[in-house]
Structure 1
Amino acid sequence: MEQVTSRPRHVIWNTAVTPPDEQFSYYREAICQAFMNLTPESATTSRFPAKVEAIKIGTGAINRVVFPEHTVHRSRADIAASTESCFYLNFKLAGRCRMLQGDSEVSLSRGQVGIVDSDREVTLLHDRGPMLEVASFWVPSRALRDRLPPSFDFRAERVSDDPHVGHLIVETARSLNAGALRMAEEDSIRLFDVLLDLVALSLSRRSRAQTAEAAGFADATALALRRAVHERMREPGLTVANVARAIGISERYVHKLFERAGTTFSDYVMDRRLDGAARDLSDPAKVDQAIGSIAFDWGFSDLSHFARRFKQRFGCRPRDWRAR
């Protein structure tokens, strides 16, 4: 069962409305609705008093959950059945939660904030109390990843431990949890963005060496990208997909690297092609080669389009450029 983004802004599920032997099943359906596909396990098959409250905040949400001790898994099957991905940013309000993801184990006690990735298997062990409570922020993956270096290596982490911004993360999470329904929705969205900025800052600070490595990786990838473009510059049907496939990165990352350089893929290709054509038109050795032939050699398939773009870039028609 997937998170339903078209539901009302505020929804509450309470197992008290169901018979005792159906309460855990009801709870399982509720957290799948609020979070995404999850597989909870309980030591009891009888009474399971629990309450799930979901509050939408833009594309994210706060899910407040009160429950007895139990375990929650995000399995391979759960991940495969999901059409979305997110981060769970958990603000522990009562009891303890141990978050196990890969080779990382993070323990959260009251007042601490930790984060896990929904795209990787994770186990959440909730214990130490008859009734436990957590405010879990449902963060769309892109909303956080766009704030981090492209090659950021994510792992489960207790971000409230950060010596510089950890206390700000806790207080922002506390304020947003307490005031989400009292403040205007646009204000809650702004505060949610502040929380994500702080979390991204904490994650990025984890290792300055990692950040430097990410920047070095981006520079090396950008160099490989430009080389791949230049090698294919004369191909009329050159696309982002062609060069992305050639160097093994996503089309989105191709666009991001060009944006980082202050341009776009199409503008970069157009400028390089026009520069190449201008050089050939000035080359005495090619004086007898037709202008149309030079244009086609540089990947242009429409001569009038070539002439128009050439004049926009150099201020004169191709034949006038050659005559100079």
Structure 2
Amino acid sequence: MQQIERAIPSRQSAWNTAGIRPSEQFSYYREAVCQAFMKLTPEPMAAAGFHASIENIRLGNAALNRVSFPEHVVRRSAADIAASDRSCFYLNLKLAGRCRILQGHREISLAPGQVGIFDSDRQFALLHDRGPQLRVASFWVPAEALRERLPASFDVAAARVSDDPFVGHLVVETARTLSDGALRMTEDEGVLLFRALIELVAVSLSRRSRTGTAESESLADATMAALRRAIHRRLREPGLAVADVANAVGISERYVHKLLARSGSSFTDYVIDHRLDGAARDLGDPAMADRAIGAIAFDWGFSDLSHFSRRFKQRFGCRPRDWRGR
């Protein structure tokens, strides 16, 4: 596809088939789609002629793709997935025409003004129809940007997030504002608005999945509970690191720190305090009276006995042997 011949800011790229021979237009469009969206397989409806344009705008490590095209089908096959080195979610705001999204056993339809989400790691088909020229604003959402806002093992199935009765209209208006004004704001401003959009999408998805659960349980509370379980399962491991529990829960290391700070603690202090609690219980257990204090400390993940004794006294007001002597 012919790249537009004009000065374009480094965070923007644009392609247009207008200057390409009709018999070659769709091939160039397919090439541009793979550059802007990752590996996809478009299929034309007509034999020749395909007037289309793509504008790609960077939003930090995410992106906005504004696309105009005739009716056609886009597929993501198993081979396409295998050929991609990153995972993302596509968040589409339909601007003109209709699109049906088929993924797994689900089918959703987007009319103008509706927003849907689907996963790049699962095969899908997009059927763009109902109009000679269709338009969509498609946000390329890094998988981790959404997953860190959702509970561990959350299944993000294809969904129309604009349907939510509480935040759906906010999703639509935020997506539309970002689509319309992405180049009038700085990249940093765009990134901040994009984060707000993903927060709203996470709320919409989590509300859909919590049918029948207590409304008082927030998304962050559920994720925090999973984080605590992951830490306590591995509490005795001497080299326990933030990355270990972040991977176990399926969130980012940054979000681990954010959740613990929300409860007034740091990762290091949380781990040490609960290790000390465990050691204190063992020191007070008559069945473990013959076990050396150092052995108990090592059992609870401490590798330095003097550090253990110092932190124990800070927490309980006495040395480990005095605690046991009580």
Q: Is the 8 A contact 2:238 2:303 kept in 1?
A: no
For 2:121, the aligned partner's letter is D
Closer, same or farther: CA 189–261 of 1 in aligned 2, 3 Å: closer
Q: Is the 8 A contact 2:90 2:141 kept in 1?
A: yes
CA RMSD in angstroms comes to 3.7
Judge which range, 271-280 or 25-34, deviates more: 271-280
2:187 matched residue in structure 1: 185
Q: Is the 8 A contact 1:24 1:45 kept in 2?
A: no
For 1:198, the aligned partner's letter is L
Question: Separation in 1 of the partners of 2:98 and 2:56?
Answer: 21
What is the Cα deviation at residue 37 of structure 1? 1.0
Question: Separation in 1 of the partners of 2:203 and 2:138?
Answer: 19
Closer, same or farther: CA 194–44 of 1 in aligned 2, 3 Å: same
SS in 2 for 1:250: helix
What is the Cα deviation at residue 41 of structure 1? 0.9
SS in 1 for 2:63: strand
1:69 matched residue in structure 2: 71
2:305 pairs with 1:303: yes
SS in 2 for 1:16: coil
What is the Cα deviation at residue 270 of structure 1? 3.2
Kindly report which structure 2 residues correspond to 1:84-99, keeping only aligned pairs within 5 A, or say none. Answer: 84-99=86-101
For 2:248, the aligned partner's letter is S
Question: Separation in 1 of the partners of 2:178 and 2:55?
Answer: 14
Question: Separation in 2 of the partners of 1:9 and 1:73?
Answer: 27
From 124, 127, 135, give the equivalent of 1:125: 127
Question: Separation in 2 of the partners of 1:292 and 1:240?
Answer: 22
1:154 matched residue in structure 2: 156
Closer, same or farther: CA 27–55 of 1 in aligned 2, 3 Å: same
Closer, same or farther: CA 302–148 of 1 in aligned 2, 3 Å: closer
Closer, same or farther: CA 199–318 of 1 in aligned 2, 3 Å: closer
| TM-score normalised by L of structure 1 | 0.78
- Segments of 5+ residues of structure 1 without an aligned counterpart are 1-6
Judge which range, 107-116 or 282-291, deviates more: 282-291
1:13 matched residue in structure 2: 15
Closer, same or farther: CA 314–90 of 1 in aligned 2, 3 Å: same
For 1:179, the aligned partner's letter is G
Q: Is the 8 A contact 2:148 2:252 kept in 1?
A: no
From 248, 251, 264, give the equivalent of 1:250: 248
- CA shift digits 1:69-122 (9 cap, x unpaired): 111001111112212222211111222111111111111222222221112111
For 1:308, the aligned partner's letter is R
1:3 matched residue in structure 2: none
- Segments of 5+ residues of structure 2 without an aligned counterpart are 1-8
SS in 1 for 2:131: coil
Aligned residues: 309
2:56 matched residue in structure 1: 54
Identity of matched residues, %:
61
Q: Is the 8 A contact 2:152 2:250 kept in 1?
A: no
What is the Cα deviation at residue 161 of structure 1? 2.6
Question: Separation in 2 of the partners of 1:158 and 1:251?
Answer: 26
Q: Is the 8 A contact 2:234 2:240 kept in 1?
A: no
Q: Is the 8 A contact 2:42 2:73 kept in 1?
A: yes
Q: Which has the larger radius of gyration?
A: 1
